[in-house]
Amino acid sequence: MIMTTKKPRKPPARKPTPLNAQMERFCQEYIKAPDNQTNAALAAGYAEGSACKRASQLMKDHRVIDRIAQLMQQRNKRKKLDADSVLERLVNMLDADIADILTNTGDIKPIKDWPAVWRKSINAFEIAVIDEKVTVKKVKLLDKLRVLEMVGKHVDVNAFRERFQVDINISLADKMAAARKRATGGE
């Protein structure tokens, strides 16, 4: 008697289905704030109770990941944002001279008279109105050390990498001398 075994049938390859409207909306919302997937799911219309779980599931779907990458690439192209332009902006912030925003007497110039690089580098400022005259009293700029660190990481100079050096070159003579010292009762 001859026995034949049937080969298991492979299911036919399925074409990936396109994203539905809600998944597309999730992708659109996600690129606005990639730090919070749950908020993107809520904004896309998923239920509040399941938004966190659904966001996690969506981020495992290759179609969603591909669409998010495509949307981010389109946004970067629209905004003319690439690694070179980011580096150029950071370097301009580092090279900005504080004298550009001060008068000859050391007072702060009106913001409208500041170069663009300084106006774009403001973290916070305080304005005072005295006798209908508006003057800038305090300016908090971006942290230049942080900007320098970002530049260092960007150009991969490893300027801020912690370095440890361990000298493991102990010669046989050093070991013999230490052994003799111990044998003779030395420290």
The verdict on residue 174 lying in a domain is: no
CA angle 92, 93, 94 (to 5 degrees): 90
Tell whether 4 is covered by a domain: no
> Closest by alpha carbon to 157, among 91, 97, 101?
91
Question: Which of 66-80, 126-140, 145-159 has the lowest average pLDDT?
Answer: 145-159
pTM for this model (two decimals): 0.49
Same domain, 71 and 123: no
Mean pLDDT of 16-25: 92
From the list 124, 120, 98, 96, the residue with the least C-alpha distance to 109 is 98
187 part of a folded domain? no
Looking at 34, 52, 78, the residue that finishes a domain is 78
CA-based angle 68:74:77, to the nearest 5? 140
Query: Where a domain ends, among 78, 100, 120?
Result: 78
Q: How far is CA 50 from each of CA 18, 45, 47, rounded to the nearest angstrom?
A: 22, 11, 5
Q: What is the CATH number of the domain that holds 63?
A: 1.10.10.1400
Q: Are residues 58 and 92 in the same domain?
A: no
Residue 11 lies in a domain: no
Q: Which pLDDT does position 169 carry in this prediction?
A: 65
Work out how many domains the chain is built from and give that number.
Answer: 2
Shared domain for 108 and 139, answered yes or no, is yes
- Give the confidence band of 168 by pLDDT, cuts at 50, 70, 90: low
- Predicted local distance difference test score (pLDDT) of residue 40: 94
Q: What is the mean pLDDT of the chain?
A: 81
Task: Indicate if the pLDDT at residue 166 is higher than 70.
Answer: no
For position 171, what pLDDT does the model report? Answer: 75
- Pair 74, 111 in one domain: no
Predicted pLDDT of residue 61: 94
- 35 and 54 housed in the same domain: yes
Contacts of 86 (CB under 8 A, 6+ apart): 154
For residue 187, what pLDDT is reported?
61
In this predicted structure, the answer to whether residue 13 has a pLDDT above a threshold of 60 is: yes
Residue 173 lies in a domain: no
Which one-letter DSSP state was computed for residue 112?
G
Domain range for 67 is 21-78
Q: How far apart are the first and last CA of the chain?
A: 88
Please say if the pLDDT value at position 157 is more than 60: no
Of 8, 10, 28, the C-alpha closest to 20 is 28
